[in-house]
Amino acid sequence: MDQKDNTLKVTVSRGTSGEQFEQEFEVPAYENQTVLDVVSWIQQNSDPTLSYRFACRVGMCGSCAMMVNGEPRWTCRTHVKKVVRKNTLSIAPLRNLPVVKDLAADMTPFFDKWVDAEGYHHPTRTRHDPMQEVTPNDEERNRANAGIECINCAVCYAACDTVANNDAYLGPAALQRAWTLYNDQKNENGQAILDAVSRDGGCHSCHSMGSCSLYCPNELDPMSAIAGLKRETAKNLFRRRR
């Protein structure tokens, strides 16, 4: 690596929603370096007022996602050498969400939509009942398992063009959560989930463009989960008419 290659030109989005501007920083380049390392270097060495969010640094907490060169990424597990273009990086807060400040997106709409999609546990038993047995190789259980590793990073939400164009749309993460719970034997009131995802802005707004499944850092497949909800809501419509 020659001297010129030893420095990264990093453009960082600063400010809050409606008052954003870009600022350039020069950051030393290393052989092994994540995008989060670059952001942290800027905050520690160039501008301590830079705001961003992270916690675990190992791809488990889902708090450090940002737009890197225009694409949503979990920055703690994204190596600079994988995404850098001509020694330059552009880093911005997650798309489709309001901005608190600089690189920290306001996750409120994202999590509100989880609740709107009934994406929370509806228990079947109390602490006084015996534990429910769950058969690991059951078909329903496997459908629930497919989406259970979601870390709520909102990369799919930022990648989705339907979210960008339709404010009411619940988005891939909330709908995948709804599908996971619908298939979970420990969760009851599946009808409430189907009703919630059938409202305007629910699973039927999805155009199956697949950006969610393409960008999910945990290689989950929200698009197929949403397809499952579409099938189940359609079947349920005919079941109810009988």
Q: Is 233 in the site for other proteins (CB under 8 A)?
A: yes
- List the strands of the sheet with 7-14, edge to edge: 21-28, 7-14, 88-92, 65-68, 71-74
For other proteins, which is the closer residue by CB, 127 or 241? 241
Q: Is 202 in the site for other proteins (CB under 8 A)?
A: yes
For other proteins, which is the closer residue by CB, 184 or 232? 232
Q: Which of residues 146-185 bind other proteins (CB under 8 A)?
A: 162, 165-166
Minimum distance, C-beta of residue 207 to other proteins, in the bound complex (Å)? 8
Phi-psi bin for 59: left (phi > 0), alpha (psi -120 to 50), beta? left
How many residues touch other proteins (CB under 8 A)? 14
Q: What is the largest CA-CA distance in the chain?
A: 74
For other proteins, which is the closer residue by CB, 9 or 204? 204
Q: Is 88 in the site for other proteins (CB under 8 A)?
A: no
Minimum distance, C-beta of residue 238 to other proteins, in the bound complex (Å)? 10
Interacting residue with other proteins among 205, 212, 225, 232 (CB under 8 A): 205
Minimum distance, C-beta of residue 135 to other proteins, in the bound complex (Å)? 32
Interacting residue with other proteins among 77, 141, 186, 199 (CB under 8 A): 199
Minimum distance, C-beta of residue 169 to other proteins, in the bound complex (Å)? 9
Minimum distance, C-beta of residue 197 to other proteins, in the bound complex (Å)? 9
HSE, CB side, 13 Å, CA atoms: give it for residue 201.
15
Q: Is 209 in the site for other proteins (CB under 8 A)?
A: no
Residue 224 exposed, middle or buried by CB count within 10 Å (0-12, 13-18, 19+):
middle
Binding region for other proteins (CB under 8 A):
162, 165-166, 198-202, 204-205, 230, 233-234, 237
